[in-house]
Structure 1
Amino acid sequence: MRNVIAYVNLTLDGHLAGPAGELDWMRFDPEMNIALSDEMRSRCDTILTGRNFHHGIEQNFRAQANDPASPAELADFATWMISAPQVVFSRSLTEVAAPHRLAGDDLAATVAELKALPGKDMVLFGGVSIVQQFVREGLVDEYWIKLYPTAIGAGQPLFTHRRTELRLTESKAWESGILTLRYLPA
């Protein structure tokens, strides 16, 4: 059975984004990004995302994939991001281009159906509201967290509903000060 991996960027005080969606606290770490993207692509073959992130993938990664000045690692990752099948969770979209598909209205039923299909694991990128909903409904099998050494004081938290116990399975400190953490539900 396939797993859902929530791959998130998180502030030290637990926010996925600032109050208005700000991500200006994130910093670039090329060594970390290459290592994590290679591992993620070897484990996952499907992207789970909300409408805004789906549109962002197309806008941001297509340019990087086609830019001859892009480093090879970034171009490879960008190509994977735009070509990997996406399951888009949206109440407002009525269609998406193949190989992508719209999710059904029942989140838990859609995830159960996807998990039963053949293939590799699935990576949940965002946006914030769909990640929070997956977490609230207990649909995340593994958390891959990039913890940035920045507290922003207020914002959009990862955990919004109740106490959640997790079990640390891996951690690594990067030269940039970012920690990568892997957790399983306890």
Structure 2
Amino acid sequence: MRKLILGFYVSIDGKSADADNGIRDVMMGIDDTEQEEYFVNQLWEAGAFLMGRNTYAAMAGFWPTSGHPSAKAMNEIPKVVFSRTLRSADDWPETRIASGDTAEEIAKLKAEPGKDLVAAGGTAFMHSLIKLGVVDEYRLWVLPAVTGKGAALFPELDEAVRLRLVKSTAFPSGVLELRYVPADK
């Protein structure tokens, strides 16, 4: 069975790039060849990318014509957009729409053969996956910045979710990749 990996860039104070809080500028300003190569290699390990409609709209307007080092992987790896309103995903090759119940759609995707699933995107989509309890691994890319504002990566929960660190990688730029799994797994 495939795992669902939640991957997200976050500031040291736990804020996402959803708001205009400067995180995108920090991300774009990082010049770290080692981190970029590592990231691209991880992209190729994904069996599919999962995202919400808003993230799809932003990415479909960028990746198909991008010359970025990640573009080949982003365009060739299958993508699944979770949306009940989107009718077409023709703007970005290798993309299909999942419009059913999110937990059921995730269960079907996990049951398919292939490489692990990577969810990326806005905090609303991430929050829904966390609240459903379908995340098997968290890969947080912690950026060397504090924003003091913006959307929190994790939603308010009824009870704490205990996690266990399984890997950490530090890059020359100060970016950290932290991998966590639920403590009970």
What is the TM-score when the length of structure 2 is the normalising length?
0.86
Shift of 1:104: 2.7
CA contact under 8 A between 1:7 and 1:125: conserved in structure 2?
yes
Equivalent position to 2:168, from 168, 171, 176: 171
Q: What is the correspondence of 1:39-118 to structure 2 with a 5 Å cutoff?
A: 39-41=42-44, 43-65=45-67, 74=69, 77-97=70-90, 99-118=94-113
Shift of 1:93: 0.8
Sequence identity, in percent? 35
Once residues 151 and 108 of structure 1 are traced to their aligned partners in structure 2, the CA distance between those partners, rounded to angstroms, is 33
Shift of 1:18: 5.4
SS of 1:101's equivalent in the other structure is strand
Q: Provide Cα deviations, 1:133-183, integer angstroms capped at 9, x if missing partner.
A: 111211111111110121111211111122222110111221111111111
CA contact under 8 A between 1:57 and 1:82: conserved in structure 2?
no
Task: Please tell me whether residue 15 in structure 1 is matched to residue 15 in structure 2.
Answer: yes
Q: What is the correspondence of 1:146-157 to structure 2 with a 5 Å cutoff?
A: 146-157=141-152
Q: What is the correspondence of 1:135-154 to structure 2 with a 5 Å cutoff?
A: 135-154=130-149
Count of residues in Structure 1 that have an aligned counterpart in Structure 2 = 176
Q: Provide Cα deviations, 1:52-82, integer angstroms capped at 9, x if missing partner.
A: 22223232222224xxxx6xxx0xx312212
In structure 2, stretches of 5+ residues that fail to align are none
Amino acid at match of 1:40: L
Runs of 4+ in 1 over 3 A off after TM superposition: 18-22
What is the TM-score when the length of structure 1 is the normalising length?
0.85
Once residues 33 and 184 of structure 1 are traced to their aligned partners in structure 2, the CA distance between those partners, rounded to angstroms, is 24
Question: Partner residue of 1:123?
Answer: 118
Task: Report the aligned-residue RMSD.
Answer: 1.9
